[in-house]
Amino acid sequence: MGATKTDHFTGKQNELATLAKAIGHPARVAIIDYLLKVNSCICGDIVNELPLAQPTVSQHLKELKNAGLIKGEIEGNSICYCIDEKTFAKLQNFFSNISTKIEKKKRIAVN
Amino acid sequence: MGATKTDHFTGKQNELATLAKAIGHPARVAIIDYLLKVNSCICGDIVNELPLAQPTVSQHLKELKNAGLIKGEIEGNSICYCIDEKTFAKLQNFFSNISTKIEKKKRIAVN
DNA sequence: AACGTTTATCGTAATATTGCAATATTAAAC
DNA sequence: GTTTAATATTGCAATATTACGATAAACGTT
């Protein structure tokens, strides 16, 4: 097998899984870190920043873009990548909700 | 290849990547959802809840446990799984920090 | 001790991911 | 239009993941 049974789960579950999966690689976390550090999104510098070959970085960027975690704007012959704020806000929301649920459960357990 | 170059990235980057990777599958998100919904962590019920065979569920549980997202306590012949609160708190922190960084960058951009 | 229940492990097939060299594409610069 | 640069795509090898049937291991019950 190896094919994930996506259709058996809810939209929200698949959405979180897709986002988490995209973050689930240290190179992609490093790219996100870099984009958070740098104000102007100097695209090609990511290749210099990471210990990976250019095609590999390009592939990781593509996956991050597909997941909606970053945006890429063409600017002349180079491409300007930057964080997609909305998606990260959504992720923060996901995990805040989980923490809230955990807190609620704790309160019930005490009473 | 196919082997991730873990050693080239920081501890934090690898930590977040490992946690995200573990969450990066809808079945595992569904397991987390279920454990959040149910107070007592009735282990074997997860198998009934999910559209997956028992060995598959067992494997997903193992991965969640390895990542530190859930805990499993032996209770007679069954095992009691539950959310590991500390790890989810850590995750919430990660994404709060990212959102803070995004906000800071925005403020600088305006000035 | 034999049996049922619950969970884990093994083995294996199907598929996905990772990484990179080679090459293609795109657009500015000359 | 040719050169130069920045990125993307292709093709491929190595490895990882996903899923499950078969089986094992652990424990309580009778």
- Helix A54-67 vs helix A26-37: crossing angle, to nearest 10: 80
* pLDDT recorded at residue B26: 97
- pLDDT, tens only, B49-101: 999 999 999 999 999 999 999 999 888 788 999 999 999 999 999 999 999 99
Strand D-proximal protein residues, Cβ less than 7 Å: A 1-5, 43-44, 47, 54-55, 58-59, 61-62, 72, 77-79; B 1-4, 21, 24-25, 27, 52-56, 59-60, 63, 74, 76-77
The pTM assigned to this predicted structure is: 0.91
